[in-house]
Structure 1
Amino acid sequence: MTDQIILAPLVPVLVLWILGGIAAGLVIFAAVFRLSGWWLRALAAVALLAAAANPSLQQEDRRALSDIVIALIDETASQQLSDRAAQSAAALEGLRAEIAARPDTELREIRLLDGAGDAGTLAMQALTEALAEEPRARIAGVVLISDGQIHDMDRMPAVPAPVHLLQTGHAADWDRRLIVRNAPAFAILGEEFHLTLRIEDQGRVPPGLGGTATLSLSLDGGEPQSYRVPVGQDIDLPVVLPHGGMNVIQFTLETSPGELTDRNNAAVLQINGVRDRLRVLLVSGEPHAGERTWRNLLKSDSSVDLVHFTILRPPEKQDGVPVTELSLIAFPTRELFLEKIDEFDLIIFDRYKRRGILPVIYLDNIRQYVMDGGAVLVAAGPDFAGAASIYRSPLAEIIPAEPTARVYEQGYLPQLTDLGRRHPVTEGLDAWGAEAAQPGTAGPHWGRWFRMIDLAPKSGETVMSGPEDKPLLVLDRMGEGRVALLASDQAWLWDRGFEGGGPQLELLRRLAHWMMKEPELEEEALWAEAEGQSMTVIRRTLADTAAEMTVTGPDGRNWQLTPQEVSPGRFEAELEAPGIGLYRITDGTMDAVIALGPSAPREFEQTIATGEAVAPLVGAMRGGVMPLEEGMPDLRAVGPGRPAAGRGWIGITPREAYVTADLRIAPLLPSWAFLALAAALITGAWLLEGRRRRPAA
């Protein structure tokens, strides 16, 4: 119980002060002039002022509240190294025992797990949330059981009590890690770029283990190659990507004896190979409506370098105009078709026929260009079915279908074949324009074409058909290269929007990318896509079924996945991966790799236990950093502002917080008692003054 006197003035406080000032002035005046009974009048004034102040006695019943100690227990990945988990468990048990032995003291335990998205150890975020949930007046101390590697110290809160670090780990710990200084997300195919790596030692490195280390490099899960590299120096590594699409490069550092972990000895980089520019040679025959469409289509893409070879003055044209007066410029055919043909990524023949301008040796060089890995697209016009057809040349060896000399001159709707619905070049094209079609309309929602060359397929895959199910678009592989034959010169009708148009731009874009061997348009492909720790394994095939797939994790564990068809030619399977690292996927015929998680997780960037990161927080309230390998410190009570740590002990500050259970207020004296006292004092002063004035007898 606590007693105290409180005032509840009957008049405004200002009036009370004024009256007190007047009374004080009168008393001083009476004392200076030695008026009889002045001290009795002073006491009477005090009694009157006390009556006006209305003093009361307040009696308060208080119930003491317990002190709260917050314990943050680090259970992130770095705390699983060596015997740190055991050290943490022993320290927590010791802290529980110390708190239990202290009266009116509670322990709040908060466990720290790995932050989402490789955020690391977010101890300050957890401490801020804990302080928000507890009354600050009851916080007696904070104890962090951790290796000291905290990754959000920039969010350090103000703590009203001492903070201590019970540091796990050992002074003799050491570790070696691989650092990727810089790695691009994209790289140009065929161009060299540089990766910068570094091997760094941390902690107390045993004698004889410095100097050099063995580093292995593996591309797309292939056979690794090993090199001896220096430790503690930047390593500049020139790289040229071998193929387009995602390239997975894995670096692995040889594990040394006594390292804390080998988890930071590996790094996995995923670099997307892209083409800088697509060099296209467009070879046009006589001018026609579709020639401008081809040119506009290719020129509209800023990533395409277009060289257009067209015949404006055929050799048979004899009009008597002197050559010196012609404004036409001779085309460098020898340079293009013999010397620099390998610099082109794609050659397009648009209604071209043999007219004696390109000698047979040039056409044979184009055939060899395809066999060596080049790409040719033939957009056939009526001349392709005649005697001057380019099929009647060395190009016949690579063209996948032979013209029968018949030309269909009738309206027809291009259709996807059964194979075309599964082929990545034409898959899903029949859904183009469906939103604008009339309800109940079946088939592709495209405009008609009015000409097609009859073909007799020799090889390849027919993905589109025309009248009488005749081949319209045939794709084939020849040697190392690829060839596409489009048996019509009227794709431009789609570009003009005739009868609603059609997916000309998407079709030609996919054709070009397939011919450039882009991985996302391969007919037979296996790859995986990741979102967090979830992995989607995708198998694309022209077959009706897909084989069971095996996924091998970084620890050697295997999972068997049965893919399900989600669209024609596309099969998928889901896997929730248990951890980060490099996963290998195979179905017996095709292999793929995917890296989950960051190349170097944040928890393993710095693995040596230290108190440097938390020093600002610990030092603010004079706490301490206590290595647990030296033993569990004792717990003591210290006053506010006093040193809260010493050799073998840490301190908490008792807060003496309480809650008021009952409150009683009673007047110190009744008002009439103050008035009676004042009246008695004034009467006494009057009697004393009258006695002094009475004459002597």
Structure 2
Amino acid sequence: MIGGMAASIVFDPLLPWAVITGLAVLCLGLALYALWRGLAGWPWRTGAALALLAALMNPAIQREERKPLSDIVIAVVDRTSSQSVGDRALQAETALAALEAEVAALPGTELRVTTVLDAPGDGGSPVMAALAEAIAAEPRDRIAGAVIISDGRVHDIELAPAMPAPLHLLMTGRESDWDRRLIVKNAPAFAIIDEPVTLTLRIEDAGDVPASAAGMADLSIAIDGGEPQWYSVPVGEDLELPVTLPHGGQNILQFDVAAAEGELTTRNNSSVTAINGVRDRLRVLLVSGEPHAGERVWRNLLKSDPSVDLVHFTILRPPEKQDGVPVDELSLIAFPTRELFVEKIEEFDLIIFDRYRLRGILPQAYLENVRDYVTRGGTVLVAAGPEFGTADSLWRSPLADILPVTTTSRVLEGGFRPALTDLGQRHPVTQGLDARAPEGGWGRWFRQIEISARGAGQVVMEGLERRPLLVLAREGEGRVAVLASDHAWLWGRGYEGGGPQLELLRRLAHWMLKEPELEEETLSAEPKEQSIVVSRRTLSETPPDAVEVTLPDGTVTALALPQVSPGHYRAEMPAPQQGLYRLKQGELSTVVAVGPPSPREFEETLASAEVLEPVVEAAGGGVLRIEDGLPDLRTVGEGRTAAGRGWIGITPRGAHVTQDIRISALLPEWVWLAIASALILLAWLREGRLGGKAV
């Protein structure tokens, strides 16, 4: 090719190639026969045959006018999270600027820059996918080379494309870097409350660790955002950590390793693990003071739940019966009062007194023990009937010290529909229960004991004459509830459509057992893929203040919570960063982790070419550290070494675009005919006039 032109010979045969090939074989045979016979003119006859064959092939000169195309160099710049540590971002920007200048200095060469961000979820650094997309977007015959500017921590190496030109890695980071990270090797998703579960932790150092930082590290442990406890632990060893979950539901365990001087980043020094606390069995003691219509409903409700261990005793002797039979001879089986109310009372999660009255079966000392059991953290539910207003009522026992009600001894009778109070609309035990009512509302009850709330008693349901029907209270470390009617069983039987007796009992039990989702004052956060749902429950009628949210990078923002139902405020906020978010509103606080406990980008933070090196070598490129100096860019021939000390190479491809094509016959037809005729004439003269046969 000279200038912008290129010429070549092409053929457009007048006959099929098979015919021309046959004629050529025939001519060759005749030429060999003439040579064998010794004919003097065989060379000229052969030449004439070749001229005729050439004319049949119709040769032509093809001239192309070509426009050269520029070569393309692809630069893939890693800007994922791991590139934000140390001065790697600055190194990457400096290397890119130098590469742009080098490419600009080469004639006919262009640079295409592709930026790589964190993959969705926890996909890490998708560098190979970005490189493959960049190559697919350009003609392969124009790609002269590719340069990756990264720390080498690539997480999709299996997607590495076939390279049409050299591939190089300009590696960020420094050889003197070192880092410390916390690894939670074993953390169960579920654990039984009050039973120890073992977590396995490990603190690892990597890189050029200074002597002053080796050996021991300070580790803090906090549960549900509470006050952290610090421990000094060895580095490089598995740590078996026994943990006992304090409550049911989600327990958030936060682990932090104190920052060491000079370590690369502290983003991998923390880990948050969420463990759901479950109860092995809910142990319930149900004491029925006398047989009545609702007793079987209580028993069936509790027995229908496979997670409940129920111990049920019914006192069969009616109060008006005077037959002289000793009390200790009335039971079908002996009532193990001392075993239940002294020796094993702490084993029960809930004690229910269903229409119980004082008959001398439980001595005052045992009831005092029940009272103390509540103040130490136990729970008691009193389902009251007409006996609650009599002289042998539980209200006149030592339990009166913890019961949140007083009674007038008046029994209210008449049909009524239980209703939620304003407080009950906001209290998590009863909130939303009215939405479960059948068409026409809950079924009616027909008897209620007149009581009044006292102390810290919370009236969440009311009945006849708007009198308290369900009262809740905290007493010491425990909790107490009083249901002032013995007609709740009508809901269980479905009378007039029934009502949510099972749901109410379940919530009561879980509230008494201090399940976090049923606490009156809570601040909770639930992570989603790219957001956090923040919820606030409160009994106050005043909207809560905005929640203060601290992002993983330390940025603080305020989140306002709109009301979604009485006492329930909720909002969803975007979570642009992976890591630990801290939330605080007044005296309440919590933490939530977005993304995995240990983000993939920070599992290994030291720069390394280990993963990329095989791909780079297969493409004929090289690996150079940016801290050793920025390399020069050279052009090398295809198949030649494309990297060396202080330089990297690209391969010019010589691609072009054909703008015009001209085709003209090599010789006119009459010229071929003239050549063939002249050769035939020479053969005739040589054989006839000039000598006949060759000797």
1:17-56 → structure 2 map (5 Å cutoff): 17-35=21-39, 37-56=41-60
Matched, 1:265 2:269: yes
1:260 deviates by 2.0
The one-letter amino acid of 2:22's match is I
Q: 1:522 aligns with which of 516, 519, 523?
A: 519
Instruction: Classify 1:681/1:477 alpha carbon distance in 2 versus 1 (closer, same or farther; 3 Å).
Output: same
The separation in 2 between residues aligned to 1:556 and 1:678, in whole angstroms, is 94
Match of 1:504 in 2: 501
Q: Distance in 1 between matches of 2:535 and 2:617?
A: 54
* Bigger Cα displacement from structure 2, 387-396 vs 165-174: 387-396
The whole-number CA distance in structure 2 between the counterparts of 1:636 and 1:694 is 70
Q: Compute the displacement of 1:68 (Å).
A: 0.8
Is structure 2 residue 444 aligned with structure 1 residue 448? Answer: yes
**C-alpha displacement of 1:532:** 4.9
- Give 2:490's aligned amino acid: L
Cα contact 1:195–1:237 (8 A) shared by 2: yes
Match for residue 304 of structure 1 among 289, 308, 311: 308
Mapped to 1, the partners of 2:55 and 2:359 lie a distance apart of 128
**Of residues 606, 612, 618 in structure 2, which corresponds to 1:608?**
606
1:125 corresponds to which letter in structure 2?
A: A
Matched, 1:102 2:106: yes
Say if 1:176 and 1:200, in contact at 8 Å, map to a contact too: yes
One-letter code of the match for 1:630?
A: D
Give 2:637's aligned residue. Answer: 639
Structure 2 residue aligned with 1:568: 566
Tell which deviates more after alignment, 626-635 or 659-668: 659-668
TM-score (norm 1): 0.90
| AA in 2 matched with 1:108 | R
Distance in structure 1 (CA, Å) of the matches to 2:610 and 2:445: 75
Partner of residue 135, structure 2: 131
CA distance change for structure 1 residues 124 and 694 in 2, over 3 Å: closer, same or farther?
A: closer
Q: Which moved more, 1:580-589 or 1:62-71?
A: 580-589
Partner of 1:625: 623
- Write out per-residue CA displacement over residues 7-48 of structure 1, whole angstroms, 9 at most, x where no aligned residue: 233333333333333333333233323345433443343334
**CA distance 1:694–1:338, change in 2 (3 Å):** closer
Judge conservation of contact 1:314–1:355 (CA < 8 Å) in 2. Answer: no
Counterpart mapping for 1:79-228 below 5 A: 79-228=83-232
Structure 1 residues 417-462: Cα deviation after superposition (integer angstroms, max 9, x where no partner): 111111111111111247xx3xxx7xxx322233333333334111
Counterparts of 1:261-660 in structure 2, within 5 Å, are 261-311=265-315, 328-433=332-437, 437=439, 445-459=441-455, 460-532=457-529, 534-549=531-546, 551=548, 553=550, 558-572=556-570, 575-576=573-574, 579-660=577-658
Q: Are 2:609 and 2:623, in contact at CA under 8 Å, matched by a contact in 1?
A: yes
* Superposed displacement of residue 221, structure 1: 3.6
The amino acid of 2:598's aligned partner reads A
Aligned to 2:12: 8
Q: Residue 124 and residue 418 in structure 1: after superposition, are their counterparts in 2 closer, same or farther (change >3 A)? A: same
Per-residue CA distance 1:133-160 (angstroms, 9 max, x = gap): 1111111111112222222223222211
Query: SS of 2:399's equivalent?
Result: helix
1:463 and 1:340 map into 2 onto residues whose CA distance is 32
Aligned-residue offset at 1:340: 0.9
Report the counterpart of residue 662 of structure 1 in structure 2.
660
One-letter code aligned to 1:448: R
Cα RMSD for the two superposed structures: 3.1
> What's the CA shift for 1:397?
3.0
Residues in 1 aligned to 2:381 and 2:589: alpha-carbon distance in whole angstroms: 30
Query: Matches of 2:672 and 2:316 in 1, distance apart?
Result: 126
Deviation, 1:70, is: 0.8
Question: Counterpart amino acid of 1:397?
Answer: D
The separation in 1 between residues aligned to 2:572 and 2:86, in whole angstroms, is: 34
Instruction: Please tell me whether the aligned partners of residues 548 and 560 of structure 1 are also in contact (alpha carbons under 8 angstroms).
Output: no
Q: Structure 2 length normalisation: TM-score?
A: 0.90
1:577 deviates by: 5.8
Q: 2:686, 2:692 within 8 Å by CA — same for their partners in 1?
A: no
- Alpha-carbon separation, structure 1, partners of 2:494 and 2:135: 67
Tell me by how many angstroms 1:293 deviates: 2.9
Larger CA deviation: 488-497 vs 408-417: 488-497
SS in 2 for 1:451: strand
How far off is 1:579 after superposition?
A: 4.6
| Structure 1 residue 677, shift from structure 2 partner | 4.5
- Taking a change above 3 Å as real, the CA distance of residues 23 and 532 of structure 1, as seen in their structure-2 partners, is same
After superposition, give the CA deviation of every residue in 1:624-659 in whole Å (9 maximum; x if it has no partner). Answer: 111122211111112222221111211111111122
Does the Cα contact within 8 Å between 1:186 and 1:272 map onto a contact in 2? yes
State which drifts further: 550-559 or 282-291: 550-559
Is the Cα–Cα contact under 8 Å of residues 470 and 484 in structure 2 kept in the other structure? yes
Structure 1 position 168, deviation (Å): 1.9
Structure-2 separation of matches of 1:635 and 1:557: 41
- Relative to structure 2, which stretch is displaced further, 249-258 or 196-205? 249-258
1:103 is paired with a residue whose SS is coil
Once residues 277 and 545 of structure 1 are traced to their aligned partners in structure 2, the CA distance between those partners, rounded to angstroms, is: 38
Aligned length: 684
How far apart in 2 are the matches of 1:672 and 1:351? 129
Q: Aligned partners of 1:14, 1:670: CA distance in 2, in Å?
A: 24
- The more displaced of 617-626 and 147-156 is 147-156
Provide closer, same or farther for how the CA distance between residues 370 and 49 of structure 1 changes in structure 2, counting only shifts above 3 A. same
1:340-370 deviation per Cα after TM superposition (whole angstroms, max 9, x unaligned): 1111111223334445544444333222222
Structure 2 Cα separation of the partners of residues 386 and 296 of structure 1:
28
* Residue 303 to residue 15, structure 1, CA distance change in 2 (3 Å): farther
Change (3 A) 1:224 1:367: closer
Instruction: Give % identity.
Output: 61
Change in CA separation of 1:38 and 1:286 when aligned onto 2, cut-off 3 Å: farther
**Is the alpha carbon distance of 1:401 and 1:98 closer, same or farther for their aligned partners in structure 2, counting shifts above 3 Å?**
same
Q: Which deviations, in whole Å up to 9, do the C-alpha atoms of 1:575-618 show, x marking residues without a partner?
A: 55675554444443433333445443333322222211211111
In structure 2, do the counterparts of structure 1 residues 687 and 489 end up closer, same or farther at CA, with 3 Å as the change threshold? farther
CA distance, structure 2, for counterparts of residue 274 and residue 683 of structure 1: 113
**CA distance in structure 1 between the aligned counterparts of 2:494 and 2:690, rounded to whole angstroms:** 129
Q: Given residue 495 of structure 1, which amino acid in structure 2 is its aligned partner? A: G
Give, as a single letter, the amino acid of the residue that structure 2 aligns with 1:379. Answer: A
Counterpart contact for 1:638–1:651, Cα < 8 Å: yes
Q: Does the 8 Å contact 1:36/1:692 carry over to 2?
A: no
- Output the CA distance in 1 between the equivalents of 2:91 and 2:665: 61
Contact 1:137 1:657 in 2 (8 A): yes
Q: How far does the alpha carbon of each residue in 1:460-479 deviate from its partner, in whole angstroms, 9 at most, with x for none?
A: 11111222212221112222
CA contact (8 A) 1:635 1:650 kept: yes
**Cα 1:207–1:23 shift into 2, 3 Å:** same
5+ residue gaps, structure 2: none
Alignment partner of 1:410: what SS?
Answer: strand
* Counterparts of 2:86 and 2:558, CA distance in 1: 33
Query: What displacement does 1:59 show?
Result: 1.8
Say if 1:352 and 1:45 are closer, same or farther in 2 by CA, change over 3 A.
farther
